Each structure stands twice: as C-alpha cells, then as structure tokens.
C-alpha cells in the first residue's frame, strides 16, 4: 500500500492514458470509426446516477467513504469509514450507525495503526 499512489493515480495511468491516446488517434484520423476505447463503462453510467440524484433531489443511496466524525461511535473520529448515505440536492446525508461490534472496532483501529505506522516509517 502506498498512500502517495492512490486509485486516482491508477486511473490516470490506465484508462485516462488510453482515452487520451485514442482521442489523439481520432483527431489525427478525422473520424471516430474503429474507435474501441472511448465508450460508456460502469463509471460513466454511475456518474449519471449520482448526477440525477443531486439534480432531481432523489435521495438515492450510495456507499461512500467519509471521515468518521461520530458516524460510528467506537471508531476514531478521524478514521475513514465506508457507509451508506443518501445523496440529495442539499448534500450528503448519513445516518449515525452507533457502535460496531468490539471485534470490528478493534480491526478498524489496527488497520488505522498500520497505515499510521506505514507513513511514519517512509521518511
């Protein structure tokens, strides 16, 4: 795990690079015939669902990763947690989850410590 090389970096090195190369090829050829890289994929469809939920205030539920800030009582407030939330025109709404089982909380705490230690020893 490398906190300096995120999922965004992976997308830029992979799909973004292929899309830009294909766009360049299409411009040079003057046609998009025979183009295979630029197409709707799962991410493209997903972003439309997200946009509709905001634009039409649909309150659709999504799995999101947020700073804990009390969502899960027995995990550190600055931990990142993956929870269900409703997405509306007025923002993201997360219901407080209360506490998780002690084993789950301990696992989350250990994971956070591993990440902290990883960052600490990189210097």
Closest CA to 16 of 52, 41, 51, 45: 41
25 is in an annotated binding site: no
| Structure-token match 């025979």, residue found | 34
Instruction: State phi, psi for 47 to the nearest 5 degrees.
Output: -65, -30
Q: What's the maximum distance between 2 C-alpha atoms anywhere in the chain?
A: 61
Q: Are 70 and 77 in contact (CB under 8 A)?
A: yes
The annotated binding site for substrate is made up of 7
The annotated binding site is made up of 7
């Amino acid at each position: 795990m490398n906190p300096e090389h995120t999922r965004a970096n992976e997308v830029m090195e992979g799909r973004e690079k292929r899309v830009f190369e294909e766009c360049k090829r299409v411009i040079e050829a003057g046609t998009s015939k025979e183009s295979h890289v630029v197409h709707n994929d799962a991410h493209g469809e997903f972003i439309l669902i997200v946009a509709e939920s905001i634009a039409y205030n649909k309150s659709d539920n999504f799995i999101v990763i947020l700073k804990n800030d009390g969502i899960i009582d027995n995990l550190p407030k600055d931990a990142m947690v993956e929870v269900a939330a409703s997405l509306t025109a007025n923002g993201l709404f997360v219901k407080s989850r209360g506490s998780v089982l002690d084993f789950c909380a301990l696992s989350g705490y250990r994971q956070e410590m591993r990440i902290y230690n990883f960052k600490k020893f990189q210097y």
